[in-house]
Structure 1
Amino acid sequence: MGQLGHLLVVALLRTLSTLPYPLVARLGSAVGAALYAIPGRRKHIVLVNLHLCFPEKSERECDELAREHFRHVVRSYLERGVQWFGSAQRIRDLVQIESAIDLEDSNAPPTIFLGFHFVGVEIGCLHYSLNMPAASLYTHMSNTRLCDLAKRQRGRFGAKMIERSTSARKIVRLLQDGTPVMLAADMDHGIENSVFVPFFGVPACTLTSVSRLARMGHARVVPFVTEVLPDFKGYKLNVFAPLDDFPSGSDTSDARSMNAFLETQIMKIPAQYYWVHRRFKHRPEGMPAVY
């Protein structure tokens, strides 16, 4: 993306941030449905993922779920305008919270907030950083301008943005100093520091970083999911109780536990999970590529 393209994106997002949320959401949903009608690489990835994870679904059922997913994904891109450039009060107004833990406990133990790539994850992290200090791990994008924009806007309420490749010691120091760390481990980042464990019965390359950081920082691991509410009513940030027996001492067992928990949440809102990602990019030795 060149300088002109970057400026146009920023201008579009700023404009969208001034519009009523339901209007932006409806527009994104309509654009997503239109884009689904066009054959493309992302559509192919979504359908492959759905067929692998839900073999019991018919071709028609997978197609309907994929179309609904495209609506949610494109809608989430347009809603970045509100999320990245909307006021703090507007974000508070859009997000409901249901938490199994006290989010304002000043004496809380070291905490890793374990997020997952649902379409609403962005605003859930932003909302938390409005009220409490936090650090958030991010993956560097190939587009430097877009990466810098995302980093700046995601951290605009005080969250410390930390690149995923940073040293574990730095993250552990934050945990021990009382700063919660937000991260996600449900993407395929390569076989290094990962294990293959089932995800809907399919071997998925799953990061073990959560286990290692929790062990080193003596931290509890608290999952959270941000759900897009029906009827364009905003979002619901669900914060769950800490995972039991985590870390267990076995990175493989912990990775299985994370995926099993994620599966239960996906089944509640299957169209809102990021099926556009190549979750099965790497395969165990001897297994064929799927994309």
Structure 2
Amino acid sequence: MGDSHKRRTFFEQLGFVSIVVLLRLFSLLPYALVARFGSALGAMLFAFPSSRKHIVLVNLRLCFPGKSEREYDDLARDHFRHVIRSYLERGIQWFGSAETIRDIVQIESKIDLEDGDAPPTIFMGFHFVGIEIGCMLYSMQWSVASLYTRMSNKALCDLARRQRGRFGAEMLERSTSARKIVGLLRSGKPVMLAADMDHGIRNSVFVPFFGVSACTLTSVSRLARLGNARVVPFVTEVLPDYQGYKLTIFEPLSDFPSASDTSDARRMNEFLETQIRNYPEQYYWVHRRFKNRPPGEAGVY
């Protein structure tokens, strides 16, 4: 038992070191080269059966009914290209220079980001493949706290937290108390978070997502209510022809939060659906978005 644990630990450490070495290598290469290589690798990996490929196809069939199998395969392959590419581009995001990141990310904001009298603000993001680099670009120029979800691999989680916050973002685990987050909001520090994944039925409601009941967190409206904060959506899209990314910060959601967490969750999903339709291949379909089902409904994966 002890030898088995030591071998497992050794290979975990070896794998972690290999990941860091590769990411540092990718950070030294031109962005377009890394992006092209990641896209090609994603297309190659899609050719092999895998649990993630299965999850992507299930999600696409549920959310976009009526397409042909060829259309589902083409969309899923394009998604694999983007996902694997985004993993390789972590090298640039985590270890590249601030100048490099500024060169490949554009920003367009519907609100005044320099407003010193801005109300408490929750920046609500979504899991498109470019979310990480958009958050990092923002943290280079403005003070912000950012919520993250802990990974199972502690070494990788610690690395991700450290590198994501290397330009000044205050990194907070998703389980951080609401009191602390509300305190940050009231002190004038914006908080970035994403609430579009299935984290379990606690503090969640089932509302439609592309017509399918999806377990959706109510944390955004709850925190906004407690902190008297506006909720400002943002999306980072991958630009065509390896031109980089574009971070778009939208107008605050009107009349949000409302008196109903369920209504607010529906509005979040409706906004997200609109954005996904613009570039469906870039949303994070590899996540089991419909992992938890309403009582009486069978699992889908």
Which bracket does the TM-score occupy, shorter chain normalised? Answer: over 0.9
Aligned residue for 1:226, secondary structure, equals strand
Q: 2:128 aligns with which of 118, 123, 128?
A: 118
Structure 1 residue 58, shift from structure 2 partner: 1.3
Letter in 2 for 1:212: R
**CA distance in 1 between partners of 2:299 and 2:177 (Å):** 32
Q: Deviations over 1:43-92 (max 9, x none)?
A: 00000000000002111111100000000000000000000001111111
Once the two structures are TM-superposed, the CA of residue 130 in structure 1 deviates from its matched residue by: 0.1
Indicate yes or no: 2:33 matched with 1:33.
Answer: no
2:148 is the alignment partner of 1:135? no
Query: 2:124 is paired with a residue of what secondary structure?
Result: strand
- Tell me the equivalent position of 1:98: 108
Partner of 1:85: 95
The structural deviation recorded for 1:166 is 1.0
Whole-angstrom distance in 1 between the partners of 2:159 and 2:290? 29
Counterpart CA distance in 2 for 1:131 and 1:251 is: 32
| 2:269 partner letter | N
Deviation at residue 249 of structure 1 after TM alignment: 1.2
- Matches of residues 134-153 of structure 1 in structure 2 within 5 Å? 134-153=144-163
Task: Show structure 1 runs of 4+ deviating over 4 A.
Answer: none
Report matched runs for 1:268-287 at 5 Å.
268-287=278-297
Match of 2:220 among 203, 210, 214: 210
Q: 3-state SS of the aligned residue for 1:197?
A: strand
- CA–CA distance in structure 2, aligned partners of residues 106 and 122 of structure 1: 25
Q: Residue 257 of structure 2 corresponds to which residue in structure 1?
A: 247
Answer with 1 or 2: which has the greater Rg. Answer: 2
CA distance in structure 2 between the aligned counterparts of 1:107 and 1:95, rounded to whole angstroms: 26
Alpha-carbon separation, structure 2, partners of 1:34 and 1:245: 46
CA distance in 2, matches of 1:98, 1:272: 19
The alignment status of 1:179 with 2:193, answered yes or no, reads no
Query: Alpha-carbon deviations, 1:224-261, whole Å to 9, x = none?
Result: 00000000000000100001110011000000000000
Structure 2 CA distance for aligned equivalents of residues 93 and 105 of structure 1: 24
Secondary structure of the equivalent of 1:15?
helix
Task: Provide the residue aligned with 2:14 in structure 1.
Answer: 4
- Provide the rounded CA distance (Å) in 2 between the counterparts of 1:66 and 1:187: 19
Task: Please state how far the C-alpha of 1:107 moved relative to its aligned partner.
Answer: 1.3
One-letter identity of the residue aligned with 1:122? E
Deviation at 1:168, TM superposition (A): 0.1
Please name the residue that 1:259 is paired with.
Answer: 269
Comparing 219-228 with 3-12, greater Cα deviation is found at 3-12
TM-score w.r.t. length of structure 2: 0.96
Q: How many percent of aligned residue pairs carry the same amino acid?
A: 75
Once the two structures are TM-superposed, the CA of residue 8 in structure 1 deviates from its matched residue by: 1.1
Instruction: Check if 1:288 corresponds to 2:298.
Output: yes
Q: In 2, Cα distance between the equivalents of 1:23 and 1:141?
A: 28
Unaligned runs of 5+ in 1: none
1:70 aligned onto 2:85: no
Q: 1:160 aligns with which of 156, 161, 170?
A: 170
Match of 2:242 in 1: 232
Q: Distance in 1 between matches of 2:37 and 2:263?
A: 42
Q: CA RMSD in A?
A: 0.6
Distance (Å, rounded) in 2 between the aligned partners of 1:56 and 1:168: 42
Query: 1:219 maps to what in 2?
Result: 229
| Mean CA deviation greater in 101-110 or 128-137 | 101-110
Q: Give distance in 2, aligned partners of 1:7 and 1:36.
A: 26
Amino acid at match of 1:20: P
